[in-house]
Structures are given as structure tokens and as C-alpha cells.
Amino acid sequence: MTAGRKAIPAKIHQLKGTYRPDRHEADSVVSVAPGIPDLPDGLDDVARAEWAWFTKELFDLGIIAKIDKIQMEQICVVYSRWKQAEKIVEREGFTIETKNGYPVQNPSLNIANQCIKQLQSLCGDFGLSPAARAKMKISSAQPQQLDLYADFLNKKRPTAHNG
């Protein structure tokens, strides 16, 4: 039996314009204030640069909190690993020769491909992908819905002139 789709945080629904209080009110009870997590120790230069860029972008969208430190660290480490693997593939090629002289796929290509899958999954948890971005309505405030009935009641009706 499968677990089904992952629940999407209320903030992501708000950005996509699909937030409904009757469905997502339970999400908003467990909300945390947006914030940039502290930079973890042990990140290499590539991961550190990605951390600085990525956390700022997510903070500007209001979808990162200090408690997201571990997941952000995973994203940055996997990103750095992916870049390292890609450099090796660029240097050595898609195939390498075995000791017996047979060409085989470069193991770094497999590592790069696995990193891409991991990044897609990790970034998906934040609602980030080209498809998710296309659905998001990023604005500082949602436009107010018109209340046509209230407008109708507040308008003065023209008076009839008999004469």
C-alpha cells in the first residue's frame, strides 16, 4: 500500500493561488516564521555559495525557516557533489576503459544522474521546479476579491422625477 502524495505546505498553496482556509487551516496552525538557517560547518566552497544564494531566494519568497537547516544542507551538499561529478565527466568523458580495455560508462556520470534526481526531490519539497514556478503567483499581497453585492448596496439609486 502506498502512502500517497506528499502534503504541500500552506505557504506553497498561497504562492500558487490554491490556498483554501477550509482545506489548509490545519497547516497554518503549525507555521513557523520565515528565517535563514545558520550556515552549517563543513560545507565546501561550492556548497557554501549555493547556500548563500538559495537561502536568500527562498527567504525572499517566504518559504524557508531556521528549522529547514538540515534539508538546505542536503540540497547544497548534493549540488556540490553534482558539480564535482560533472567536472570529472567533462574531463574523462562519458565512458572510461576498464583494465581489460573495454569501454564502460563513467561512474561519475551515474553519480551526476543520481544527484540530479536527489536535487529534484529535495527542491520539490520547497515547491521549486520549472512546473511549480509556472503555477506560482509570487506577489507581496493577494488581490482582494470584489464584493459586487456590497458595491450594489452602497450605490445610490437614481431618483425618479415625475414632472
Task: Give pLDDT tens digits for 26-68.
Answer: 544 456 778 899 999 999 999 999 999 999 988 888 888 899 9
Q: Residue type at 74? A: Q
Flag whether 34 is in a domain: yes
pLDDT in tens, 107-138: 999 999 999 999 998 887 777 776 666 555 55
Neighbours of 110 (CB within 10 A): 12
Determine the distance from the C-alpha atom of residue 18 to the mean position of all C-alpha atoms in its chain, rounded to a whole number: 16
pLDDT at position 43: 96
- Higher-confidence residue: 54 or 150? 54
Residue 2 lies in a domain: no
Average model confidence (pLDDT) for the chain?
80
Work out whether the CA dihedral 57, 120, 114, 70 comes out positive or negative.
positive
**DSSP assignment, residue 104?**
E
Q: What is the DSSP letter of 66?
A: G
Burial class (CB in 10 A: 0-12, 13-18, 19+), 61: middle
Residue 141 is assigned to a structural domain of this protein: yes
Q: What pTM did the predictor assign?
A: 0.66
Residue range 89-97: mean pLDDT, rounded = 95
3 lies in some domain: no
Range of the domain at 126: 10-154
Low-confidence winner among 95-104, 107-116, 134-143 (lowest mean pLDDT):
134-143
CA-CA distance, 108 to 110, in Å (whole number)? 5
Model pLDDT, residue 142:
45
Residue 5 is assigned to a structural domain of this protein:
no
- Is 112 domain-assigned? yes
Residue type, 39: L
Q: How many domains does the chain have?
A: 1
